[in-house]
Structure 1
Amino acid sequence: MKPLTPSDPAHIGPHRVLARLGAGGMGAVYLARTPEGHLAAVKVVHTELAQDQGFLARFARETRTAQRVRGPYTPAVLSASPEDRTPWMATEYVPGPTLSEAVAGRGPLPEASLRVLALGLARALQSVHASGIMHRDLKPGNVLLSPRGPQVIDFGIARAVEGTVLTKTGEAFGTPAYTCPETVLGREQSPASDVFALAGIVAFAASGRPPFGRKPAAEVLQRIVNDEPDLEGVPAGTLHDLLARCLAKDPAARPSADEIVNVLSSEPLPSAEHGWLPATVNAEIGERERELHRVVHEAPTAPGVAHTGRKRRGWIVVGAAATALVLMAGTAAAVLRPWEDADSGGTDEAAAPDDDGANEAEGDAAAEDEPSFPESVYGIHFTPDGEELYVHTPDEITVWDWREGELIDTPFGADDETNSFDLAESGHMATAGEDGLRIWDDSHQEVDSFDGGDIEFYDSVSLSDDGNLAAFRMVEQDSENSIAVVWDREEDAVVWEEEGDTHSTQLSPDGSHVMLENRYMAPYIRVVDPQSGDTVAEFPTDGGEPADNPLIDAAFAPDRPHIAVSDSETEQTVVYDLAAGETVEELDSPGTPMGLSYSPDGASLLAGRDDGVGVNGGFMWDTSSWESVVSESTLIFDKPLVHPDGETIAVVENSTGTGGATVLFLDPESGRDTHEIT
């Protein structure tokens, strides 16, 4: 901890800066007091990173997700502001050394401490992975030592830094010694990648060196891929065998964090009386706590500082009078063996209530009861007044206050298996599934239904703006073919129908055209006039034969007889005038199309792109000039949807394998996300 210099800020956002803690790859770190009187470690982003719009977009997403991580081994992310001129992130402050500092200064840890370290790291990964993220940069420098167990920090930050000036200039963010083989080989990471790093950290704590050496970096990476780890220093027995499995080259052969917890929970652990750390490390923590007490005591107190009732862990420094209330190393009353489960006979975090009388176990139980989406979302729909958002998933249809992120209703019941859902400008809704094709009013009362006879199921329903016409697909019992239908519900008459290989249908806003998609042979898209039955357009327009089964999306314009079509083979979005019978514009849109839509006023056309693993986002064009109005750093992922008044843009980010899908809300001016529901 170092005193402030004239060049250091006095405030970072709402936080008053007290001292400088250090600096890392992402920026400087300060000790600061929050407006509520807590102490926080505030990380300030480097100027170079603050100018990288791609980093800022990822930083916003990762810090927001990190705020959902809760557990006794992961200091909470209290707040963050990617929008500030100098972006920052504030986390709970832990007055302890990093594992790398402790081992360098005090030597390797004894066996009992190693077991607690491994168990605490595994529990931290349980919390991180349960929130839908991976750490990606787990190393001794990101593990703080506390009397309550190891504390894992900086989870998710590595992904925000990927592809920025730090990595592009060869200043790699991360430590090669703890990198997993799949990362070295350019393959996809998974929670098992963090497990590999966990084992490397424990091996380092046991011997003072990483299991594949420190340098040169290129040789370390080769050894990670090809050689067996050096586990000399790790005591023989359960822990040694477990670490060897964690360091398997094949991610599928590694144990999960859950298995590590189960195995180590059955092993002997240190008693509460003596704590889990060696006396020398406890002494260092005591010195840091006394220094912290001095810094906080000498700092003037800002007027009006008061508690807010927010849950706090024992190491948080609080109080309007700025008196440091900290856990002193070696105090049996403070060290309650949080590394043990309550079920195993020890005292878990749940046994120690927070200052406001609540406890972490209650918070975790509440988190499990919170609504969440599965790994995919079928569709999203704003209500005509823009106040609410309908989200259709494989499980159900839910209604949300999208501004507050609060679930309002499940109008058609839980576990609703509706195949397709649409919401018209009139407020009418349509559901299609095995139980029929139904029309509902804006109070969710059924007002109409379609009887097609012996039908196995209905899907791909689409309503005209006035809610009178419905296009959909139905499949008869014991039939392989589908029937595409346009139905006038006021007249209760089928306007048009066609039997064939249609896989989806879409009705134009005024009901004058219906789009038919065939996924397996050209033409992949046909546009039909349902009044005459004539085909007025086909795609590909040149009659060519692109690759089999291209990924295609299409959207009708709301204010003119245009249709836009994107496909993965040509990597273009074609805008076609149905009245004139000619192409209006051909727009470059490389990548996999993940949804195509116009803004309600027709002024913008949006093309979603895949979920950001390989690319940064999608496209948006001004339909008067066809100029792009967003950059490559935007987050227009799946199913882009513009708010009726242009207030926000909603998009879906599908799961990457560690959690459910997320609905992001983007600022229409900057393209950066403002918040999410998940």
Structure 2
Amino acid sequence: MYTPTSPAGPPPTFQALSADDPSEVGGYRLITRLGAGGMGRVYLAHTPGGRPVAVKVVRPELAEDAEFRRRFAQEVANARRIHGLYTAQVVDAGVDAATPWLATAYVPGPSLQQVVQLHGPLPERTVLLLMAGVAEALQVIHDAGVVHRDLKPANVLVAADGPRVIDFGIARAADASALTGTGIQIGSPGFMAPEQAMGAPATSATDIFALGALAVHIAGGTPPFGNGPASVSLYRAVHEEPDLTRVPASLHPLLRHCLAKQPEHRPSAAEVIEAAHRHPAISGQLLFTEDWLPSQVSTEISRRSDLPTAPDAPPTAPAAPPTVLDAAPTALAAPPTVLDAARSLADAPTARAHPLPAPAAPPEAAPAGRAGSRRRGGRVIALTAAAALLLGAGGAYVLLDRAGSDTTAATDSSDDPAEPAPGNSAADPDADPAEVPGYAEDYTGAELASPDHTYEFDLKAGKVLPAGAATWYLGRSATEFSLAEENDAYIARGDQLTLAGCIKGIETQPVTKLPFSALPSGRAFCVRAEADLGIAIVRVISTTTDDGPVKVSIDYYRSGS
């Protein structure tokens, strides 16, 4: 059974501009960031007359590619001829700018990918209405001589009055770019037609296949050829029948027609609209009435319609909160000898005091890939019984190490994850070759690539899946890896990390942040699941300076304890 992946609520729609975001593009003053993808970042701005627009700024490495710029200009010219009711209209572009950009009408609604991630599969009637609306958009796109080539749930936005197809034709400009050298194939494997997977030219029938795959995803919660690695999905698309077991049976004939292996056997966009019109769930009424969407999706659209009016000020680093030891003299009337003992422990090289809880502040945005997931706060090992009593008396907290160790330890919020806090350095945990009883090797050396933040690593299965689909995940944003709340992690000093070294590192030098800045190519880190103590050792192959491809190699060990 499908379970929505974000019980804590939807991710933030409007993200404050950061220091590396431009304040203006092509005369448009940028207000906030809307997101990022394989082509670049997307921002909210307004026309001089006050209409909201989405401004997409292409990635720097694409901007430097002459062939990309030529094809981008050509595709933007094609896209500007498209004026469909179910497309996001192109209103402006800067194809000759130092960094090319494109402005389209802003659609105040989530993508179909976000809808399914947050709320699960959609009702039968909603799916049919969406298919008809997207098919009408494809008619207009194809009539203009353009093939979308990357139709997928992330490229269909949901507005109150129907869907809007975005990025039509623009993805084709990346074919000859530097991206093709990274091993990331243009297009999305779960939605690519057989001819596209085999390198044949894309046609209007290619988009119809993608529409069928999209409909399977939003009706059943998963793509028709599974969530496995790209190579597996592409093989199944070419050689196997789609899996429609989660899709209402009444939709099977239309979806199988769209997903026919041979392009000439698929329906036209007009035939898709007619089939939806005749379906019993529609009763001849292809109308986007007030109740065409589930109520929670309508609420999400309303939330996105409340636009910010000015950029948020760049965040400033807050002053470090006082430690409980700093507060102890004024907060507690404790004997000087106990205070002295506590302070002497704090001054020891391996001791670090836990800060007092900071005043309530707005919660941080959840890492991309799994909304609402946050690592738990720092963990402190007891200093001494006397110090624990002293600190506990003032309302602060000290937690005992679960192994009962008397080792003094720091919180797991190290200032610099790349340089672990000094501990007992007599033995380097990264170089410890000892075998660990109770663990068995499941797989090693699995090289995986996440195209962007909408894909995460399934550590247990050794796969790349859409965000929210993994059973035990390692997510990633444009700047860091993200962990499930119940996970522990440790960053090695180099590329060598054994199972024993991982366990020792987690117990003595744990971290909660895995920023790309601390994980250059070749650096290793590990993750341990608290539920079953399974361990994944991850070696970074390459990261990104934007929301682009991230490659890793993973070894997974299951625990029998």
Give TM-score scaled by structure 2 length: 0.51
Q: What SS does structure 2 have at the residue aligned with 1:155?
A: coil
Q: Where does residue 230 of structure 2 map in the other structure?
A: 217
Aligned 1:512-591 pairs, distance under 5 A:
none
State the partner residue of 1:132: 145
Kindly state the Cα deviation for residue 70 of structure 1 after the two structures are TM-superposed.
1.1
Counterpart of 2:157 (choices 138, 144, 156) is 144
The aligned residue for residue 400 of structure 1 is none
Task: Quote the Cα distance in structure 2 between the aligned partners of 1:116 and 1:90.
Answer: 27
> Match for 1:275: what amino acid?
D
Q: Does 1:89 align with 2:89?
A: no
**Structure 1 CA distance for aligned equivalents of residues 272 and 70 of structure 2:** 34
Distance 2:168 2:126 in 1: 23
Distance 1:272 1:255 in 2: 23
Residue 190 of structure 1 pairs with residue 203 of structure 2:
yes
Segments ≥4 residues shifted beyond 6 Å: 297-300
* Alignment pair present for 1:32 and 2:48: no
User: Residue 262 of structure 2 corresponds to which residue in structure 1?
Assistant: 250
Instruction: Name the structure 2 match of 1:207.
Output: 220
| Equivalent residue number for residue 272 of structure 2 | 260
CA deviations 1:544-574 (Å, max 9, x no partner) are xxxxxxxxxxxxxxxxxxxxxxxxxxxxxxx
Matched, 1:280 2:296: yes
String of CA shifts for 1:79-134, please: whole Å, max 9, x gaps. 11110011100000001111011101001000110110111110110010011100
**What is residue 166 of structure 2 aligned with on the other side?**
153
CA distance in 2, matches of 1:46, 1:274: 39
The 3-state SS of whatever aligns with 2:223 is coil
Shift of 1:275: 3.0
Which of 219, 236, 240 matches 1:227?
Answer: 240
Q: Which residue of 2 aligns with 1:165?
A: 178
Please say if residues 152 and 191 of structure 2, whose CA atoms lie closer than 8 Å, have aligned partners that are also in contact: yes
Count how many residue pairs are aligned between Structure 1 and Structure 2: 296
| AA aligned opposite 2:277 | S
RMSD: 1.7
Distance 1:108 1:201 in 2: 12
Give the Cα–Cα distance (whole angstroms) in 1 for the partners of residues 287 and 275 of structure 2: 18
1:96 aligns to what SS in structure 2?
A: coil
One-letter amino acid of the counterpart of residue 76, structure 1: Q
Residues 386-411 of structure 1, C-alpha deviation per residue, up to 9 Å, x if partnerless?
Answer: xxxxxxxxxxxxxxxxxxxxxxxxxx
Alpha-carbon offset, residue 3 of structure 1? 1.1
Are 1:270 and 1:276, in contact at CA under 8 Å, matched by a contact in 2? Answer: no
**Counterpart residue number, 2:23:** 10
For the residues of structure 1 that align with 2:84 and 2:97, how far apart are their CA atoms? 28
Structure 2 counterparts to residues 440-459 of structure 1, below 5 A:
none
Secondary structure of 2:98's match?
Answer: coil
Quote the sequence identity (%): 47
The CA deviation at 1:297 is: 7.2
Q: Tell me: CA distance 1:134–1:273, structure 2 relative to 1, closer, same or farther (3 Å).
A: closer
Distance 1:181 1:101 in 2: 26
Pick one of 67, 70, 74 that aligns with 1:54.
Answer: 67
Offset at 1:236? 2.1
In structure 2, relative to structure 1, the CA distance for the partners of 1:169 and 1:273 (3 Å cut) is closer
State the Cα deviation string for residues 251-279 of structure 1 (Å, max 9, x = none).
Answer: 00000001111221233247665331100
**Which protein shows a greater Rg?**
1
How many Å separate the matches in 1 of 2:288 and 2:46?
A: 31
Higher relative contact order (CA 8 A, sep 6+): 2
Q: Which amino acid aligns with 1:195?
A: I
Higher helix share: 2
Local SS of the residue matching 1:223: helix
Deviations 1:36-71 (A, max 9, x none): 322111000111001101000000000111011111
- Displacement of 1:171: 2.5
State the Cα deviation string for residues 460-495 of structure 1 (Å, max 9, x = none). xxxxxxxxxxxxxxxxxxxxxxxxxxxxxxxxxxxx
Which runs of structure 2 are paired with 1:27-426 in the superposition (5 Å)? 27-237=40-250, 239-267=251-279, 268=282, 269=285, 273-290=289-306, 292=307, 295-296=308-309
Contact 2:54 2:103 in 1 (8 A): yes
Work out the CA distance in 2 between the residues paired with 1:154 and 1:270.
25
Q: Decide whether aligned partners of structure 1 residues 271 and 251 sit closer, same or farther in structure 2, where only a CA change above 3 A counts.
A: closer
Q: Secondary structure at the match of 1:296?
A: coil
Q: What is the TM-score of this pair, normalised by structure 1?
A: 0.43
Contact 2:108 2:159 in 1 (8 A): yes
Looking at structure 2, the residues matched to 12 and 175 of structure 1 have their Cα atoms a distance apart, in angstroms, of 29
Which amino acid in structure 2 is aligned with residue 86 of structure 1? T
For residues 89 and 15 of structure 1, what CA distance do their matches in structure 2 show?
11
Name the structure where strand makes up a greater proportion of residues. 1
How far apart, in 2, do the equivalents of 1:53 and 1:214 lie? 35
1:20: how far off? Answer: 0.6
CA–CA separation in structure 2 for the residues paired with 1:110 and 1:287: 22
Q: SS at the partner of 1:242?
A: helix
* Amino acid in the other structure paired with 1:279: S
Q: In 2 relative to 1, CA 254–272 (structure 1 residues): closer, same or farther, beyond 3 Å?
A: closer
SS at match of 2:73: helix
Change (3 A) 1:299 1:218: closer
Distance 2:71 2:303 in 1: 37
Distance (Å, rounded) in 2 between the aligned partners of 1:85 and 1:252: 42
Asked if 1 retains the 8 angstrom alpha-carbon contact of 2:161 and 2:288, the reply is: no
SS in 1 for 2:195: helix
For residues 284-307 of structure 1, what are the alpha-carbon distances to aligned partners after superposition, in whole Å with 9 as ceiling and x for unaligned?
1111222x1xx127899xxxxxxx
Question: Structure 2: which amino acid aligns with 1:284?
Answer: E
Counterpart contact for 1:147–1:275, Cα < 8 Å: no
Structure 1: runs of 5 or more not aligned: 301-678
1:405-428 CA-to-partner distances (Å, cap 9, x unmatched) read xxxxxxxxxxxxxxxxxxxxxxxx
Cα distance in structure 2, aligned partners of 1:272 and 1:66: 25
From the superposition, tell whether residues 244 and 161 of structure 1 become closer, same or farther in structure 2 (CA, over 3 Å). Answer: same
Q: Which residue of 1 aligns with 2:538?
A: none
Superposed displacement of residue 73, structure 1: 0.6
Match of 2:187, as an amino acid?
G
Q: What letter is aligned with 1:250?
A: Q
Give the whole-Å Cα distance in 2 for the aligned partners of 1:277 and 1:109.
Answer: 8
Give deviations 1:191-226, integer Å, cap 9, x for gaps.
000000000000000111000012111111110100
Counterpart-to-counterpart distance in 1, 2:166 and 2:219: 21
Contact 1:112 1:270 in 2 (8 A): no
